[in-house]
Amino acid sequence: MMKVREMDIEYCMHYADNLEAARRPAWLYDETKACGVNYNSAILAGLYDRHHRSFRNYRREAENIIARLDVSPSATVIDMGCGTGAFALYAAGHCRMVHAVDVSAAMLRRAQRKARRRGLKNVEFHRGGFLTYEHKAKPADAISTVAALHHLPDFWKLVALRRLALMLRPNGRLFLLDVVFSFEAGEYEQSIERFVRKTRDQMGPTGQSESETHVRDEYSTCDWIMEGLLERAGFRIQTADHPDEFLASYLCTKEGP
Protein backbone atom coordinates (compact mmCIF):
# COMPACT_ATOMS: atom_id res chain seq x y z
CA MET A 1 0.00 0.00 0.00
CA MET A 2 1.25 3.52 -0.80
CA LYS A 3 2.68 5.31 2.22
CA VAL A 4 1.52 8.93 2.68
CA ARG A 5 4.46 10.95 3.89
CA GLU A 6 4.18 14.08 6.05
CA MET A 7 5.74 16.02 3.13
CA ASP A 8 2.90 14.92 0.82
CA ILE A 9 0.31 16.09 3.33
CA GLU A 10 2.12 19.46 3.63
CA TYR A 11 2.14 19.74 -0.17
CA CYS A 12 -1.62 19.04 -0.44
CA MET A 13 -2.37 21.55 2.35
CA HIS A 14 -0.27 24.17 0.57
CA TYR A 15 -2.12 23.47 -2.71
CA ALA A 16 -5.52 23.68 -0.98
CA ASP A 17 -4.49 26.95 0.74
CA ASN A 18 -3.54 28.46 -2.62
CA LEU A 19 -6.89 27.44 -4.11
CA GLU A 20 -8.73 28.98 -1.14
CA ALA A 21 -6.67 32.17 -1.38
CA ALA A 22 -7.41 32.50 -5.12
CA ARG A 23 -11.16 32.60 -4.31
CA ARG A 24 -10.76 35.61 -1.98
CA PRO A 25 -10.81 39.26 -3.09
CA ALA A 26 -7.34 40.58 -3.96
CA TRP A 27 -7.80 43.47 -1.46
CA LEU A 28 -8.27 41.19 1.55
CA TYR A 29 -5.50 41.51 4.16
CA ASP A 30 -3.31 38.41 3.99
CA GLU A 31 -3.46 37.18 7.57
CA THR A 32 -1.28 34.15 6.80
CA LYS A 33 1.85 36.22 6.27
CA ALA A 34 3.87 36.56 9.45
CA CYS A 35 4.08 40.09 10.80
CA GLY A 36 6.73 40.47 13.49
CA VAL A 37 7.38 37.26 15.41
CA ASN A 38 7.12 34.41 12.89
CA TYR A 39 4.69 31.86 14.34
CA ASN A 40 4.79 29.96 11.04
CA SER A 41 8.25 28.72 12.04
CA ALA A 42 8.30 25.11 13.27
CA ILE A 43 11.34 25.92 15.41
CA LEU A 44 9.58 28.78 17.16
CA ALA A 45 6.42 26.69 17.63
CA GLY A 46 8.56 23.95 19.19
CA LEU A 47 10.08 26.36 21.71
CA TYR A 48 6.90 28.36 22.39
CA ASP A 49 5.62 26.45 25.43
CA ARG A 50 9.01 26.34 27.13
CA HIS A 51 9.40 30.10 26.75
CA HIS A 52 5.88 30.97 27.72
CA ARG A 53 5.62 28.60 30.66
CA SER A 54 8.62 30.39 32.18
CA PHE A 55 6.37 33.38 32.96
CA ARG A 56 2.79 32.12 32.43
CA ASN A 57 0.64 29.61 34.26
CA TYR A 58 -1.59 28.19 31.47
CA ARG A 59 -3.91 26.40 33.89
CA ARG A 60 -4.52 29.45 36.09
CA GLU A 61 -5.04 31.70 33.03
CA ALA A 62 -7.49 29.23 31.46
CA GLU A 63 -9.46 28.75 34.68
CA ASN A 64 -9.79 32.51 35.03
CA ILE A 65 -11.06 32.85 31.43
CA ILE A 66 -13.49 29.93 31.83
CA ALA A 67 -14.92 31.53 34.99
CA ARG A 68 -15.19 34.96 33.36
CA LEU A 69 -16.91 33.52 30.27
CA ASP A 70 -19.20 31.51 32.56
CA VAL A 71 -18.62 28.41 30.41
CA SER A 72 -21.10 25.60 31.12
CA PRO A 73 -20.56 21.85 30.42
CA SER A 74 -22.93 22.09 27.41
CA ALA A 75 -21.20 25.12 25.87
CA THR A 76 -19.37 25.47 22.57
CA VAL A 77 -16.29 27.68 22.73
CA ILE A 78 -14.05 29.14 20.01
CA ASP A 79 -10.40 29.90 20.77
CA MET A 80 -9.23 32.28 18.04
CA GLY A 81 -5.45 32.35 17.59
CA CYS A 82 -5.18 29.27 19.79
CA GLY A 83 -1.43 28.82 19.26
CA THR A 84 -0.21 25.66 20.98
CA GLY A 85 -3.49 25.31 22.88
CA ALA A 86 -2.75 27.20 26.12
CA PHE A 87 -6.48 27.90 26.58
CA ALA A 88 -8.22 25.47 24.19
CA LEU A 89 -6.89 22.29 25.78
CA TYR A 90 -7.96 23.28 29.31
CA ALA A 91 -11.30 24.61 28.10
CA ALA A 92 -12.00 21.16 26.59
CA GLY A 93 -12.35 19.78 30.13
CA HIS A 94 -15.11 22.29 30.95
CA CYS A 95 -17.36 22.36 27.89
CA ARG A 96 -18.87 20.19 25.16
CA MET A 97 -16.79 21.36 22.22
CA VAL A 98 -13.86 23.68 21.53
CA HIS A 99 -13.04 25.01 18.07
CA ALA A 100 -9.34 25.85 18.13
CA VAL A 101 -8.42 28.17 15.25
CA ASP A 102 -5.04 29.46 14.12
CA VAL A 103 -3.41 30.62 10.89
CA SER A 104 -0.14 28.88 11.71
CA ALA A 105 0.10 25.21 10.72
CA ALA A 106 3.19 24.86 12.94
CA MET A 107 1.40 26.12 16.08
CA LEU A 108 -1.69 24.02 15.30
CA ARG A 109 0.44 20.89 14.91
CA ARG A 110 1.89 21.41 18.41
CA ALA A 111 -1.60 21.92 19.83
CA GLN A 112 -2.92 18.80 18.05
CA ARG A 113 -0.04 16.67 19.31
CA LYS A 114 -0.72 17.80 22.91
CA ALA A 115 -4.47 17.13 22.51
CA ARG A 116 -3.73 13.60 21.24
CA ARG A 117 -1.38 12.93 24.16
CA ARG A 118 -4.08 14.07 26.61
CA GLY A 119 -6.70 11.93 24.88
CA LEU A 120 -8.97 14.93 24.17
CA LYS A 121 -11.80 14.11 21.77
CA ASN A 122 -13.78 17.35 21.90
CA VAL A 123 -11.35 19.81 20.29
CA GLU A 124 -11.69 20.53 16.57
CA PHE A 125 -8.68 22.22 15.03
CA HIS A 126 -9.12 24.64 12.14
CA ARG A 127 -6.44 26.24 10.02
CA GLY A 128 -7.77 29.78 9.50
CA GLY A 129 -7.93 33.11 11.20
CA PHE A 130 -9.96 36.15 12.25
CA LEU A 131 -10.56 37.12 8.63
CA THR A 132 -10.95 33.73 6.94
CA TYR A 133 -12.28 31.15 9.44
CA GLU A 134 -15.82 30.12 8.49
CA HIS A 135 -17.67 28.90 11.57
CA LYS A 136 -19.95 26.24 10.07
CA ALA A 137 -21.22 24.80 13.38
CA LYS A 138 -24.04 26.45 15.35
CA PRO A 139 -23.20 29.85 16.87
CA ALA A 140 -20.79 29.54 19.79
CA ASP A 141 -21.65 30.39 23.40
CA ALA A 142 -18.27 32.00 24.04
CA ILE A 143 -15.08 33.11 22.31
CA SER A 144 -11.65 33.61 23.81
CA THR A 145 -8.76 35.24 22.03
CA VAL A 146 -5.43 35.75 23.79
CA ALA A 147 -2.46 37.68 22.40
CA ALA A 148 -3.54 37.28 18.76
CA LEU A 149 -5.61 40.28 17.56
CA HIS A 150 -2.55 42.58 17.55
CA HIS A 151 -1.40 40.75 14.38
CA LEU A 152 -3.97 42.76 12.41
CA PRO A 153 -3.88 46.49 11.57
CA ASP A 154 -6.70 48.47 13.20
CA PHE A 155 -9.19 48.49 10.31
CA TRP A 156 -8.81 44.71 9.99
CA LYS A 157 -9.23 44.36 13.77
CA LEU A 158 -12.68 45.93 13.31
CA VAL A 159 -13.51 43.47 10.50
CA ALA A 160 -12.22 40.63 12.69
CA LEU A 161 -14.32 41.65 15.72
CA ARG A 162 -17.44 41.97 13.56
CA ARG A 163 -16.80 38.45 12.26
CA LEU A 164 -16.39 37.15 15.83
CA ALA A 165 -19.72 38.75 16.78
CA LEU A 166 -21.37 36.84 13.90
CA MET A 167 -19.95 33.54 15.22
CA LEU A 168 -21.57 34.10 18.64
CA ARG A 169 -25.12 33.43 19.78
CA PRO A 170 -27.14 36.43 21.09
CA ASN A 171 -25.73 37.46 24.50
CA GLY A 172 -22.72 35.22 23.88
CA ARG A 173 -19.51 36.34 25.55
CA LEU A 174 -16.12 37.39 24.26
CA PHE A 175 -12.93 37.42 26.33
CA LEU A 176 -10.13 39.37 24.68
CA LEU A 177 -6.65 39.70 26.15
CA ASP A 178 -3.84 41.40 24.28
CA VAL A 179 -0.94 43.80 24.35
CA VAL A 180 -2.82 47.11 24.36
CA PHE A 181 -1.15 50.42 25.18
CA SER A 182 -2.58 52.63 27.92
CA PHE A 183 0.51 54.73 28.69
CA GLU A 184 0.62 58.51 28.22
CA ALA A 185 1.35 59.23 24.54
CA GLY A 186 3.88 61.91 25.51
CA GLU A 187 5.91 59.34 27.47
CA TYR A 188 5.91 56.57 24.89
CA GLU A 189 9.69 56.17 24.75
CA GLN A 190 10.14 55.55 28.50
CA SER A 191 7.05 53.32 28.54
CA ILE A 192 8.24 51.15 25.66
CA GLU A 193 11.68 50.85 27.28
CA ARG A 194 9.91 49.61 30.45
CA PHE A 195 7.99 47.05 28.34
CA VAL A 196 11.19 45.75 26.75
CA ARG A 197 12.96 45.55 30.16
CA LYS A 198 10.01 43.69 31.69
CA THR A 199 9.94 41.04 28.94
CA ARG A 200 13.73 40.69 29.12
CA ASP A 201 13.43 40.04 32.89
CA GLN A 202 10.66 37.47 32.24
CA MET A 203 12.08 35.64 29.21
CA GLY A 204 15.72 36.69 28.85
CA PRO A 205 17.21 37.87 25.53
CA THR A 206 14.44 36.12 23.50
CA GLY A 207 11.86 38.18 25.40
CA GLN A 208 13.75 41.37 24.71
CA SER A 209 13.97 40.72 20.98
CA GLU A 210 10.31 39.58 20.81
CA SER A 211 9.07 42.73 22.55
CA GLU A 212 11.22 44.98 20.36
CA THR A 213 9.86 43.18 17.27
CA HIS A 214 6.35 43.45 18.72
CA VAL A 215 6.48 47.22 19.07
CA ARG A 216 8.26 47.79 15.75
CA ASP A 217 6.46 45.36 13.40
CA GLU A 218 3.15 44.26 14.97
CA TYR A 219 -0.07 46.23 15.44
CA SER A 220 -0.77 46.70 19.13
CA THR A 221 -3.04 49.69 19.53
CA CYS A 222 -4.21 52.18 22.19
CA ASP A 223 -6.84 51.19 24.76
CA TRP A 224 -9.30 53.86 23.58
CA ILE A 225 -9.07 52.58 20.00
CA MET A 226 -9.57 48.96 21.11
CA GLU A 227 -12.63 49.95 23.15
CA GLY A 228 -14.11 51.88 20.20
CA LEU A 229 -13.51 48.91 17.91
CA LEU A 230 -15.22 46.49 20.30
CA GLU A 231 -18.28 48.75 20.62
CA ARG A 232 -18.54 49.41 16.90
CA ALA A 233 -18.28 45.68 16.22
CA GLY A 234 -21.42 45.08 18.31
CA PHE A 235 -20.03 44.24 21.75
CA ARG A 236 -20.97 45.71 25.13
CA ILE A 237 -17.86 45.94 27.30
CA GLN A 238 -18.70 44.49 30.72
CA THR A 239 -15.26 44.87 32.28
CA ALA A 240 -11.96 46.34 31.09
CA ASP A 241 -8.84 45.45 33.07
CA HIS A 242 -5.43 47.01 32.63
CA PRO A 243 -3.01 45.04 34.82
CA ASP A 244 -0.25 47.36 33.56
CA GLU A 245 0.26 49.95 30.82
CA PHE A 246 0.86 47.28 28.11
CA LEU A 247 -1.79 44.66 28.72
CA ALA A 248 -5.58 44.78 28.67
CA SER A 249 -8.35 42.26 28.95
CA TYR A 250 -11.99 42.83 28.07
CA LEU A 251 -15.01 40.77 28.92
CA CYS A 252 -17.79 41.61 26.46
CA THR A 253 -21.31 40.54 25.59
CA LYS A 254 -22.65 40.45 22.08
CA GLU A 255 -25.39 43.04 21.62
CA GLY A 256 -28.41 42.30 19.47
CA PRO A 257 -29.21 39.14 17.53
Ligand X SMILES: C[S@@+](CC[C@H](N)C(=O)[O-])C[C@H]1O[C@@H](n2cnc3c(N)ncnc32)[C@H](O)[C@@H]1O
C-beta of 84: minimal distance to ligand X in Å?
6
- Distance between CA atoms of 162 and 169, rounded to whole angstroms? 13
| Least gap, CB of 184 to ligand X (angstroms) | 26
**What binding mask, one character per residue, do residues 108-147 give for ligand X by CB under 6 A, x or -?**
---------------------xx---------------xx
Per-residue string for binding with ligand X, 82-111, x by CB under 6 A?
A: xx--x---------------xxx--x----
Minimal distance, residue 33 CB to ligand X, in Å: 9
Q: Is residue 195 a contact residue for ligand X (CB under 6 A)?
A: no
- What residues does 249 pair with on adjacent strands? 177, 241
Binding to ligand X, residues 8-67 (CB under 6 A): 31, 39, 52
CB of 61 to ligand X, least distance (A): 8
State which residue, 103 or 230, has the beta carbon closest to ligand X: 103
- CB nearer to ligand X: give 75 or 176: 176
Nearest distance in Å: CB 3, ligand X: 30
| Residues forming the site for ligand X (CB under 6 A) | 31, 39, 52, 80-83, 86, 102-104, 107, 129-130, 146-148, 151-152
